[in-house]
Amino acid sequence: MTKQVPLSNLAPGQKGTIIAIRSRGPLRRRLLDMGMVRGETVYVERVAPLGDPVEYSVKGAHLSLRRRDAANIIVEVPSQEDEDHD
């Protein structure tokens, strides 16, 4: 079983599969241009010392996003119960 959460909710070391981008306009275009497209796996690499921005990797590229922008990207992750059974 999986759950859907904003990308901004994931911690370093976690990953998710992009299922939706809720942004519109230039921000949406920028995210798509950076490889944040439906079906891609995105990894949380690290968080800046003050908590923003966050470094992600997708399609082998590293990029930094503000948390408020990452909150517009919805990812699917395994539920905690699934992780406990692995």
Q: Looking at the 3D structure of the chain, how many domains does it have? A: 1
Identify the domain containing residue 72 by its residue range: 2-79
Residue 85 included in any domain: no
Convert the pLDDT of each residue in 37-75 to its tens digit: 999 999 999 999 998 999 999 999 999 999 999 999 999
Q: Is the confidence at residue 84, as pLDDT, over 70? A: no
Please give the pLDDT value at position 3. Answer: 94
CATH number of 20's domain: 2.30.30.90
Please give the pLDDT value at position 61. Answer: 93
**In sequence order, which residues have a C-beta less than 8 Å from that of residue 3 and are 6 or more positions away?**
76, 77, 78, 79
Neighbouring C-beta atoms of residue 9, cutoff 10 Å: 16
pTM: 0.85
Please give the pLDDT value at position 42. Answer: 97
